[in-house]
């Protein structure tokens, strides 16, 4: 895995001219997260390009386990950037900035299943669940004492 760019430069700090502190700099610092969960994404490819719209010479780096990557433009002046990762939509932009935060959207289809019960019992699981189309979901009806499970309903219709 590639390392974050880590050269240090002496830079004035504060109001005093003689105050010097080492600062880690990278030309472009990416932070990549999952748009749904907010979790960092490991191994996302962050690319800077010499041309607009992802054209021309390019240089890239991969994010670490915290979703961070730094890259310095050494050979060209960057005009655009992109972030890609298998299973996510690619982001491409001509808006260059030293700090680039990107929330990648998954390409996987997901559904929210809401499971609720009436006053005579509960279900396991219950509430809202996020599932993919191939998920096998088992729901158990748990009637309270004195009640008997009658039927499932889906969108107000008898489902058996």
Out of 10-24, 115-129, 132-146, pick the least confident.
Answer: 10-24
* The pairing of beta strand 157-158 with beta strand 153-154: antiparallel
For the chain, what is the radius of gyration of the CA atoms? 25
Would you say residue 159 has pLDDT above 50? yes
With vertex at residue 33, the alpha carbon angle to CA 70 and CA 51, rounded to the nearest 5 degrees, is 50
Domain at 8-104, CATH from 3.60.21.10, 3.40.50.300, 2.60.40.1120, 3.30.70.1230: 2.60.40.1120
- pLDDT interval class at 27 (50, 70, 90): confident
Mean pLDDT of the chain: 84
The sign of the CA dihedral 81, 64, 70, 95 is positive
Q: Where in the chain is the domain with CATH 2.60.40.1120?
A: 8-104
pLDDT score recorded for residue 75: 85
pLDDT of residue 26: 54
What secondary structure does DSSP assign to 6-61, as a single string? Answer: --EEEEE-SS-TT-EEEEE--SEEEEEEETTT--B-TT-EEEEESSGGG-SSEEEE
Give the range among 31-45, 75-89, 112-126 with minimum mean pLDDT.
Answer: 112-126
Asked whether residue 30 carries a pLDDT value surpassing 80, the answer given is: yes
- Does position 132 have pLDDT exceeding 80, yes or no? no
Per-residue pLDDT band at 151 (split at 50, 70, 90): confident
32, pLDDT greater than 90: yes
What pTM does this model have?
0.55
Q: What are phi and psi of 11, to 5 degrees?
A: -135, 135
38-47, 77-86, 109-118, 137-146: range with lowest mean pLDDT: 109-118
């Amino acid at each position: 895995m590639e390392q974050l760019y880590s050269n240090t430069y002496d830079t004035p700090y504060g109001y005093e001219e003689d105050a010097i502190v080492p600062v880690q700099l990278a030309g472009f610092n990416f932070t990549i997260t999952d748009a749904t969960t907010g979790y960092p994404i490991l191994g996302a490819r962050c690319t800077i390009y010499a041309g607009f719209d992802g054209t021309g010479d390019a240089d890239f780096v991969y994010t670490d386990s915290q979703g961070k990557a730094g890259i310095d433009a050494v050979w060209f002046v960057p005009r655009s950037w992109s972030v890609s990762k298998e299973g996510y939509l690619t982001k491409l932009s001509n808006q260059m900035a030293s700090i680039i935060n990107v929330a990648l959207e998954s390409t996987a289809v997901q559904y929210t299943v809401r499971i609720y019960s009436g006053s005579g019992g509960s279900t396991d699981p219950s509430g809202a669940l996020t599932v993919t189309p191939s998920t096998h979901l088992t729901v158990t009806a748990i009637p309270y004492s004195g009640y008997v499970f009658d039927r499932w309903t889906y969108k107000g219709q008898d489902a058996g």
